[in-house]
A and B are shown apart, each in its own frame.
Chain A
Amino acid sequence: MGSAIAKSMLVEGHEVSVLDENPEAIALLNRGQDRSWEDLGGSFTVGTALEIDALLAAGIGQADAFVASTDGDNTNLVIAQIAKRRFNVERVVVRVLDPGRARWYAEQGLQTVCPTQTAIELLEAAVRGQVPFEGVSG
């Protein structure tokens, strides 16, 4: 999910920095591109999200927007609050799979995005016939 957002933001002309604990994750950023992620101007830092040094190295100090989209809800919720409260990043977006936590933290002022909730709503709408079927998708 993170790599998809990173790629489209870079194409739009934003400066994009990706932090991942797995050095192999850069393969996702390179996939399907004619040039490598770094040749295209993106940055990539290896480190875990709770390491302040890694966040600083990835440039959190200059960030206008911060996306927390690791595969752990709790990691995302903690790191997003750090981005907001400690580094005063203006726009912070958090991926939270669990609808319960997503809702409550949204009420506390965090911009949470819950793919599970979105899927539930889409499925419901499709079952009710509210989504036109346009052939094979996804």
Chain B
Amino acid sequence: MYILIVGAGKVGWNLARELVEKENEVIAIESSRRRYEVVEEELEHSIQYGDGTELWVLERAGIERADLVIAVTGDDEDNILICQMAREKYGVERVVARCNNPRNLQHFELLGVKPAISATDLILRLIEHEVPKYGLVHLLDLKEERLEIIEMEVEEGSHADGVQVADLGLPDGSLVISILRDGGGFVPKGDSVVRAGDEVLLVLDIGLEDSVTGRFSGIAPAASADVG
């Protein structure tokens, strides 16, 4: 594959190195003379000096025959223009743009530049995945025994809403130890029905949290595949 990378900063340089190793033909374009000289020591003929938003610079790098153009400069306007021209002027089929400021993602979208990847946005989304958002409270962590006791609210429309404890489908190593409802609480039996608005206390083996929490949350457990 012939790949053109505009911007040889940290992202561009590392991408170029990896893609060369995977036996692609790669040209990187860098507009800072000093940066170009540093990177050129390693990439040699795979880097060219110039402003990658100028048509003649793109043409000198052979953009017409590129299979993929990657715009990873530190400037969102530049990345938008490079990808727009790559696709619409030079007929490049695949482009990838870096979006530095996630607020600018809407502009990439409006001008048909996709995929646009924002590291900030990706990290934010990962945080949302990693940090439990189900109103979960850790009541007790028994590290040595590798057990924990958590409290969760049963949300409307969740898997658990209206279901008997025995049918919750909880994994082995987890147990509902009490249900708090209407200001009181009780220790449930297998046929006790869980309702939206209940607070349930569970004891579980450490590491089971993810497979348990989703059953009480109204939001379907997020699949990791929807990132990017």
Contact = CB atoms under 8 A, between A and B. Distances in A.
A72 B78 CA distance: 10
A50 B54 contact: no
A81 B112 CA distance: 11
Interface stretch (A18-26, A32-40, A100-108, A126-134): A100-108
Interface in B96-113: 101, 103-104, 106-107, 110-111
Nearest to B51: A98
A82 B107 CA distance: 7
A101 to B, nearest CB: 7
Interface stretch (B34-42, B80-88, B184-192): B80-88
Nearest to A77: B81
A40 B111 CA distance: 37
A50 B110 contact: no
Interface in A101-128: 101, 104, 108
B76 A50 contact: yes
B134 to A, nearest CB: 33
A81 to B, nearest CB: 6
A36 to B, nearest CB: 32
Contacts of B128: none
A75 B110 contact: no
Nearest to B89: A104
Given A86-B110, A108-B88, A78 B80 contact: yes
B77 interface: yes
Interface string B111-155: 100000000000000000000000000000000000000000000
Given A101-B53, A101-B55, A104-B89, A74 B75 contact: yes
B56 A100 contact: yes
A50 B55 contact: no
Given A50-B107, A52-B106, A100 B77 contact: no
A96 B70 CA distance: 24
Given A50-B104, A82-B110, A86-B110, A74 B78 contact: yes
Contacts of B106: 52
Contacts of A104: 55, 85, 89
Contacts of B104: 50
Contacts of B75: 74
A50 B81 CA distance: 14
A92 to B, nearest CB: 14
Interface string A39-70: 00000000000111000000000000000000
Nearest to A74: B77
A73 B55 CA distance: 13
Nearest to B113: A78
B98 to A, nearest CB: 14
The 6 closest A-B pairs by CB, nearest first: A100-B55, A74-B77, A78-B77, A75-B77, A74-B81, A74-B78
13 contacts: A50-B103, A51-B103, A73-B53, A74-B53, A75-B77, A77-B81, A78-B81, A78-B107, A100-B56, A101-B54, A101-B85, A104-B89, A108-B88
